[in-house]
Amino acid sequence: MTSTLLRLVATALIVGTVAACSTPPSPPSPSRPGVIAPPPATGTVVWPGDTGPLPPPMAQPKSRWIPVRWAELPGFSDDALHEAWNAWIKSCERPVPPFTALCGDVRRLSIATGEEQRAWLIARLQPYRIEATDGNADGLLTAYYEPMIDAARQPGNGYTVPVYRTPATLGSRKPWYTRQQIDTLPEAQAALAGRAIAWLRDPVESMVLHIQGSGRLRITEPDGSVSLVRVAYAGTNDQPYQSVGRWLLDQGLTRDATWPGIRAWLAANPQRTNELLWSNPRYVFFREEPLSGLDAEFGPRGAQGVPLTPGRSIAVDRQSIPYGTPVWLASSGPQVQLSRMVLAQDTGSAILGAVRADFFTGWGPEAGDIAGRLKQNLRLWALWPRANF
C-alpha cells in the first residue's frame, strides 16, 4: 500500500459524518462515511426497485437474518462503493455459492459509476439485518492489521526473538507445547532448531505478530542487504488463545487494555514481561511469502483464501456469516465512525458471535494505532442474492 492510500484509509476511518436518513437519498459522496442511525420511519425513504414484498427471515447456526429495506442501511447513498468492489473482485477469485453466479456482473461493474453499482445492488441483493438468536442486533467491532517489523536473518546484535516455521513434529502431540514451554523446555527448543525464518528484537512485537496472524518484515540479510517479506499464518500449537489485555484487567494491573496501554504497563514493569506473554499459551507458526508488485497493495490471504483489502475486508464468525458475503457495516464510537460495504473474507479465534467483526485496517504504524484502539458498537446487514434471479 502506498503512503497516500494508507492516509486515505486512516482518514476515512477517523473522520466520519452523519448520513441523513430522514430525507431522500443524495448523490453519492465518497468522502462522507456515515454513522449508525435509527432506521427511517416507514415511507420516508424508498429506493427505486425496493418496493416488492420482503422474503422470509433466514437462519444461520449462530444468527438469524431479518429482511429489511435498503433504506434501513445507514449511509447507503454515501459509500464509495468502488472501494468495496475491489474487495469483491478478490472474493470472486475463490467464489462461493450463491455468489458465484454474480461474479461476471461484479467484474463488469468494476468500472461503473456509484449510481450504477447501487442500482445493481438493489436489483440483485436483499439486505438482512443480522441478529443473535435472542433478537439482539447490537455487537462488537474490533480491528486488526499487519505489523511492520525490523528483523534479521540471523540472531545477534539485539535480534533474539525467533519467528518460527511450523515444526516437523507439530502433529506428534496435540496440543503442542505452550508458549512458556516453547521458551523454556529443551525438548521444545530442539524441535524448533533450524526452523527460524527471522529474528526480532522485541518479544512484545513478536506477541503482536502472533495475535495479528501475519506481518511484514524488513529483514537484514547476511550480506547486509534488506528485503521486505510477508510472514503469513501457517498454524498454531492448538493451545487456547488468552488475551494478554484481559489478563492485565483480571489482575487489576491496568484499566487500559489497549496495545498502547499494555506497552505503557510493560515499560513500567519490564521484569514481568514473560509473565504477561506466557499468560497466552497459544503460539503461532508462519510461512514466508515474497512481497512485491500487486501483492504489496493487498493484505495477507484470509480464511476465504483471497487477499484482504484494507478498509473493506472483515473477519467474522463463519457460523453467523458465510465467507464471501458482502456485508453492510455500521459502527460509531470514540475511535471511528463507519458506514460502508465490506466483504466477509476472514475469521479469527476471538471472533465469535452473531454480530461480531474484526476490521482489517492495512499495515504499518497508522493502521496499527487504529487497530490497537478500536473496540466499539456494531450493527451488520448481510447482502444476499434475491431468490428471483
Average pLDDT, the chain: 88
Residue 292 has pLDDT above 60, yes or no: yes
Confidence (pLDDT) at 45: 65
At 91, is the pLDDT very low, low, confident or very high (cuts 50, 70, 90)?
very high
Look at residue 389 and give its three-state secondary structure.
Answer: coil
Across 113-132, average pLDDT: 97
Interatomic CA distance for residues 243 and 257, integer angstroms: 10
pLDDT digits (tens, 9 = 90+) for 75-84: 999 999 999 9
Same fold, 3-143+298-385 and 148-296: no
Task: Pick 45 or 202 by higher pLDDT.
Answer: 202
In single-letter form, the type of residue at position 280 comes to N
| pLDDT for res 144 | 95
**pLDDT score at 389:** 61
> Grid coordinates in use for 112?
461503473
**pLDDT given for residue 349 in this prediction:** 83
pLDDT in tens, 307-336: 999 999 999 999 999 999 999 999 998 878
| Residue corresponding to grid cell 524488513 | 218
pLDDT score of 382 more than 70: yes
Hey, what CATH topology would domain 3-143+298-385 get? Barwin-like endoglucanases (2.40.40)
pLDDT (average), residues 342-346 = 98
Q: Identify the pLDDT of residue 296.
A: 86
- Selected residue with higher pLDDT from 192 and 28: 192
Q: Please tell me the distance from the alpha carbon of residue 189 to that of residue 108, in angstroms, as a whole number.
A: 53
Domain residue limits, the chain: 3-143+298-385, 148-296
pLDDT at 170: 95
- Percentages of the chain per state (helix, strand, coil), in multiples of 5: 30, 25, 45
**Closest alpha carbon to 244 in 267, 211, 209, 215:** 211
pLDDT tier at 240 (50, 70, 90 boundaries)? very high
Going by C-beta distance under 8 Å and a sequence separation of 6 or more, which residues neighbour residue 173?
Answer: none
Mean pLDDT of 57-63: 97
pLDDT (tens digit, 9 = 90+) per residue, 227-239?
Answer: 999 999 999 999 9
Q: Is the confidence at residue 166, as pLDDT, over 70?
A: yes
> CATH classification of 148-296 is 3.30.43.10, yes or no?
no
The per-residue DSSP string of 312-377 comes to TEEE--TTTS-TT-EEEEEEESSS-EEEEEEEEEE--TT--SSSEEEEEEEESHHHHHHHHH-EEE
